[in-house]
Structure 1
Amino acid sequence: MPSAVLSARLRRFAPLLAAAPLCLACVAAGLPGSPRDAVSHDRSPLGTSGHVAANPAVPGGRHIHAPFRLTNTGDEPLTVTAVQPDCGCLTPLLNRDLFDPADPTVIEPGGFAELIVRADTAREAEGPHEHEVKVVCTDPAGAAVEQTVKLRYGVGPHEIRIEPPAVMIYQREGQTTTATVTVTDRRTAPLKILGANSPTDRVGVTPLDPVAREDGGWDFPFEVTVVGCEDGGNEVAVAVEVDDPNGRYRLLKLPVTVQSPDRLLNTAMKRISDAESRESAGDTDGERASR
């Protein structure tokens, strides 16, 4: 095609080519924002210095400490109303103290609180583990703001072991059950048991005489006595206070869970009844609810 003819045709379409960027801008303005924009607008006002704390494998029985910083990135104060670990082996500390719902921490805009998650590996099996802690706050309007942090670590051969890791007892009100829990310390300089404290009169713990092990170390047995069963059961963590010559341990946890067989049976029967009701409702409509 002769260049003169091509130039003439381009001049005819010049107005359309000049308007093309403006048309594209209008179309883009009508489209929804990118995922990155959506995330930035919906970001929680409670931020953390890191969502995951990874630790290498440690000898079983040692404590692991994972620090996090909870920062209020919003414009209103946030009140910490709950700190919920997913395992009894975790002890969350807020500003280096145990969380007290009766005296909640308030994080002002731009301020922060220090969250330290302490993991007690004495009751955990060897190998990799992952746990999490959920922090729940409320703003002045009462709306809930949540943030979850995770802790990953490995557990090596145990120098201190609690067996069984947790006491589970099924009994009715008026009954009394006893069980034995043993803390094993295989180190050449073992710890010394100072005492055990239970948060309820229904669960008592009595230290028994220590026993030297043939393979080295000591066994420290405890007699756990559970009296009755409150409505809904009991879930308590008995604290064993120790004097550790190595300076690594101060408290060990003995979780005790009490359940009523009647309550478990009633729960199971209710689930069966609910399932039958849903299935019957599906048949009435001419279609089974399980479909």
Structure 2
Amino acid sequence: MKINQSKNWLLYAIVTTLFWGVWGALIEIPEKAGFPATLGYCVWALTMIPPALVALRNINWKLEHSKKAILLGSLAGFTGAGGQLVLFETLRLGPAYLVFPIISLSPVVTIILSTLFLKEKTGKLGWLGIAMALIAIPLLSYQEPSANGEMNLLWLALALVVFLAWGFQAYVLKFANESMQAESIFFYMMATAIVLIPFALFMTDFSQDINWGWDGPYLAALIQILNSIGALALVFAFRYGKAIIVSPMTNALAPVITIVLSLTIYAVIPHPVIISGMVLAVAAVLLLTYEEDLTQEEDKPVLEK
């Protein structure tokens, strides 16, 4: 995945948003067909293997195996995959219409950590774009209230755990890219995702009827590979781009693609709140991209005539 251009971060971020956007629109198909989300996690972990192998081949199978590399790669993997497992339990206990807006704000954690410890900066337009993206993300996660969720403090605590884990993961991805190859980072993300499969199996209710047919695990695999490829592209986006730009951009734009595709596939008209989020998200991405282009132009060395 080598692209020798000045806009590496943007190209990889676009790949992530496209693949995650399509994945988001299709992932509920096997779940509605009777294949539990927890088993979907197991399938996803296995679909991480092919992209990881392609990435390793890209660096001639020279996996970094220092203690620091293993620690950082595994930390990125456990916070991402572990957060997904915690999310399953969170949604079991709490209302989705409150859970998703909370965890969708995880880029706030990334931005704070990257600004404080990585000293990342952007211009006024960049900060405006970031602010608009942070407003758009929970709007895009809006769901109609229902009486199914149990209103207790446990679901809120778990939602905050996911919020912190995913925000911290994005920061770790950028931090790790400063000292190790993106390909090695993704390999350890794949390995940790597989290590956590037993926990997903433990969380699965095998007493229910499970669809083991083509539209169960096999369809899930075809859809989950989109998630895995998007994750690989995200690691490269953090390698070349600023975390304070990449994180809010991908988190804001991918849901827009999901909503547009869902509108086409399921003929569901988005709520006005979601439409507002879509407009803000698109505007935010345009501002972030434009500001980053200006920054890169200013950072270019002046060539002698």
**TM > 0.5 between the two?**
no
Structure ranking higher in helix proportion: 2
Question: Over alpha carbons, which structure has the higher Rg?
Answer: 1
**Relative contact order higher in (CA < 8 Å, ≥ 6 apart):** 2
Structure ranking higher in strand proportion: 1
TM-score by length of 1: 0.21
